[in-house]
């Protein structure tokens, strides 16, 4: 599944099909670019948006959740601090239900359904959780 350029942001984790590895999106990834012998990227002349043709989304897995501090608890994964709680469980095949609750303010629970790491990154940012996802 190719990603659309509108689905990703700088800092998102995606799978780079050319390099065959997960990468975090940089400003250079939105344009045609080359690589120097030391691995440094550079923009090519007359660059045009690459429209994300080289990227696939990375599916959420229990291993990724646990590596990022989500603890298994009664069939779901949970992370919390003094201000928030986020639970995530596999709703159906490759679809995860994510719920956010504010522990500081009495707000209704926010709920979304996602499948990929970059979507989890976006959700956490939208609810104000400053968490860097690692792979």
Average pLDDT, the chain: 84
Record the pTM: 0.80
Instruction: Please identify which residue in the block is written with the tokens 């679809």.
Output: 95
pLDDT given for residue 64 in this prediction: 97
Mean pLDDT of 93-115: 85
Predicted pLDDT at 110: 82
Q: Which two tokens stand for residue 71?
A: 């603890």
Q: Give the per-residue pLDDT at 47.
A: 61
- SS3 of residue 111 by DSSP: strand
pLDDT of amino acid 27: 77
pLDDT digits (tens, 9 = 90+) for 64-84: 999 999 999 988 999 988 788
**Domain ranges for the chain:** 5-56, 62-126
Does the pLDDT at position 102 exceed 90?
no
């Amino acid at each position: 599944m190719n990603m659309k350029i509108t689905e990703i942001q700088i800092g998102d984790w995606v799978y780079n099909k050319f390099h065959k590895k997960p990468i975090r999106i940089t400003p250079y990834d939105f344009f045609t670019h080359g690589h120097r012998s030391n691995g440094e990227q550079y923009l090519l002349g007359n660059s045009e948006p690459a429209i994300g043709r080289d990227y696939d989304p990375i599916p959420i897995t229990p291993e990724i959740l646990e590596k990022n501090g989500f603890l298994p608890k009664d069939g779901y994964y949970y992370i919390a601090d003094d201000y928030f709680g986020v639970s995530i469980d596999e709703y159906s095949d490759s679809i995860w239900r994510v719920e956010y609750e504010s522990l500081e303010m009495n707000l209704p629970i926010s709920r979304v359904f996602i499948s990929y790491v970059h979507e989890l990154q976006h959700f956490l940012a939208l609810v104000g959780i400053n968490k860097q996802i690692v792979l």
